[in-house]
Chain A
Amino acid sequence: MYRVQDEVSLLRASLAGETEAWGEIVSRYKEAVFGLCLGFLRNRADAEDLTHDAFIRAYVNLRRYRLDKKFSTWLFTIASNLCRNRLRYRRYHPVAPPPLQIDGGNDPAQIVAQEDRAAQVRGGIDSLPYDYRAPLVLRYYNDLSYKEIAEVLSLPEGTVKTRIHRGKIRLKHVLENEGVTHV
């Protein structure tokens, strides 16, 4: 692990060209960025690809980052923009959804029940338009505030609240139609 622990020092060291410090930043944020990309794109290979690209792009453009801003928000903005571009690209290059893998323990009945429910919820999230899915992922996976989501997606805060609300209503309807009535 890199010797410096505090984030600002790591960023300053990265700016000076100490790539090991940037490695520590990657280590701290890779899962959060991957979760964002996976939630947005619903495809592991693309999410893996763009997580890598987001850290490269952030490093190359690190001088544009202002230290008085929250670093994670800036990084998520880069990842979010890459995801949006990839989705546009995917309009012409669709990929098959990856096979579902669920670890439900040893009980076959429990495994089947979990697989069914997870598949239904997953299908519900997949079916949401990107404009609704993106703020939901930032809210429920990345745990961002409405203000931070607005910053990442370059939207007014009111629009973010509306989209999260409507996204949840849509998801709820989809799940109820699928017969998912309780958790």
Chain B
Amino acid sequence: MKTDNLDRLLTDLLHEEVERESFCLEGLEERIVTEMSGRLPRSGPFDLLKRLLAPTRGGRFAQVSVIGATAVIFLAVGIFLGNHLPVFAPALRRPAPAARAGENEILFVIPAPEAQSVVVVGSFNDWDETPLADADGDGVWTVNITLSPGRHEYAFVIDGRWWGHDPLADAHVRSFGEYNSVRYIGRVGDDV
């Protein structure tokens, strides 16, 4: 078979498949418009900063001055509290946690005394495998995973078998005929 023929065959077949199966796209735009109605695209991380720094009639200088003054006041109050109120001192001097702000290190744990291997798959690792360990051989498998705020769907895979009923989960959902567990971190409702 010549390469040109193969190119044409591939192009034709892929287009034929889409033509044959695309009946299911009928009305997709209406469904999405209905679903999105009243929702705005999520704000970007720098949107608030951009809005604050956007030039207005009052001038950018005034806005920057206000932001700067506020920051100085907060810094001064923080230093004062740290030095004069003992109750705040340990918290202010505590070393930064390993996870970034807003993220949480979550312990995934599942008892499986007979298992040879246990992994967790979920939306936080793109459904790839993160192995659990049973270092002391007591049959309890654990792993710490840092999760960002939002909704995380996951399941354990114990010796290749799906196990979506984590008793420590916040919720369970049925997906493609099997159950998955769900954990919510921080603000509820953000899909990750």
Contact A136 B32 (CB under 8 A): no
Q: Which segment of B12-20, B77-85, B100-108 sits at the interface?
A: B12-20
Interface residues on A, range: 35 or more
Tell me whether chain B's interface is mostly helix, strand or loop, or mixed: helix
Contact with B along A7-48 (1 / 0, CB 8 A): 000000011010110111011001100110011000010011
Closest A-chain residue to B153, C-beta based?
Answer: A89
- Which residues of B sit under 8 angstroms from A163, Cβ to Cβ? none
Closest A-chain residue to B4, C-beta based?
Answer: A183
Q: Which segment of A56-64, A67-75, A105-113, A153-161 sits at the interface?
A: A56-64
Chain A nearest Cβ from B124, distance in angstroms: 11
Chain A nearest Cβ from B23, distance in angstroms: 10
Residue count of chain B within 8 Å CB distance of chain A: 47
In the assembled complex, the Cα of A137 lies from the Cα of B16 at a distance in Å of 13
Contact with A along B106-130 (1 / 0, CB 8 A): 0000000000000001010011100
A-B contacts at CB below 8 angstroms, number: 137
Give the contacts of A120-140 with B (CB-CB under 8 A): 121-122, 125, 136-137, 140
Contact A19 B127 (CB under 8 A): no
B24 located at the interface, meaning its Cβ lies under 8 Å from any Cβ of chain A in the complex: yes
- Which residues of A sit under 8 angstroms from B18, Cβ to Cβ? 31, 34-35, 38, 141
B93 located at the interface, meaning its Cβ lies under 8 Å from any Cβ of chain A in the complex: no
Chain B nearest Cβ from A8, distance in angstroms: 15
A176 located at the interface, meaning its Cβ lies under 8 Å from any Cβ of chain B in the complex: yes
Contact B41 A44 (CB under 8 A): no
**Cross-chain pairs A/B with CB under 8 angstroms, 29 sampled:** A17-B39, A17-B40, A17-B41, A19-B36, A27-B29, A30-B28, A30-B29, A35-B14, A38-B21, A44-B24, A47-B21, A51-B25, A63-B41, A63-B42, A64-B44, A85-B126, A88-B121, A89-B176, A92-B157, A93-B177, A118-B16, A122-B17, A140-B7, A140-B10, A140-B11, A141-B11, A176-B1, A182-B1, A183-B9
